[in-house]
Chain A
Amino acid sequence: GAVVSQHPSWVICKSGTSVKIECRSLDFQATTMFWYRQFPKQSLMLMATSNEGSKATYEQGVEKDKFLINHASLTLSTLTVTSAHPEDSSFYICSASKPSGSNEQFFGPGTRLTVL
């Protein structure tokens, strides 16, 4: 199997606070984890790619100081949205790839963030 979990599944926070989202690969070790953002009725937008033990690679236009990514182990990556604002409200999805060398990605169930 290749199961990826996310926690929490949804979160509501006040503007200015920080929110941490966890992504775990449950039955495999993930070489690489990816973080996506998805707005309603739109496609997935890659935010960043992270490898265990190294700094994340952010896509153009994604603020690395606002979206902090930590990939502390081969089964856990976290995304922290710092000083969240209403425009950060979105569906955040992580995915992970196995150390097999292929680029197959296995997606988590997503986290709905609402910033009031």
Chain B
Amino acid sequence: QQQVKQSPQSLIVQKGGISIINCAYENTAFDYFPWYQQFPGKGPALLIAIRPDVSEKKEGRFTISFNKSAKQFSLHIMDSQPGDSATYFCAASLYSGYSTLTFGKGTMLLVSP
């Protein structure tokens, strides 16, 4: 009930291409879905987050697509750049009330020049 499944485990994309990372959750009570970006040796940084009242959220080159009925959400990185090479984690939790983040296992993205 608490799992968040993330795929793919690793991804290589050419510069300028679109990177797509998918996550699926099980707990229908979850209503907060953030994506974190982590560079080697650094802590995760919040990239973008979505709540179920919208099906898509866009911030610059980063877009979250959310499918409530399928219990899936995905991160799209448009015009991927070598500087986007990092590990990306999806997570899910309740937005309010006592809840901890349930993380996916992460996706290592490499954007080739």
Contact = CB atoms under 8 A, between A and B. Distances in A.
Given A102-B96, A103-B94, A103-B96, A44 B103 contact: yes
Nearest to B106: A43
B105 A42 contact: yes
Interface in A69-116: 91, 93, 95, 101-110, 112
Interface string B85-99: 000010001111101
Interface string B19-56: 00000000000001010100001111110010000000
A34 B105 CA distance: 18
Interface of B: 32, 34, 36, 41-46, 49, 89, 93-97, 99-101, 103-106, 108
Interface of A: 4, 6, 34, 41-44, 46, 49, 91, 93, 95, 101-110, 112
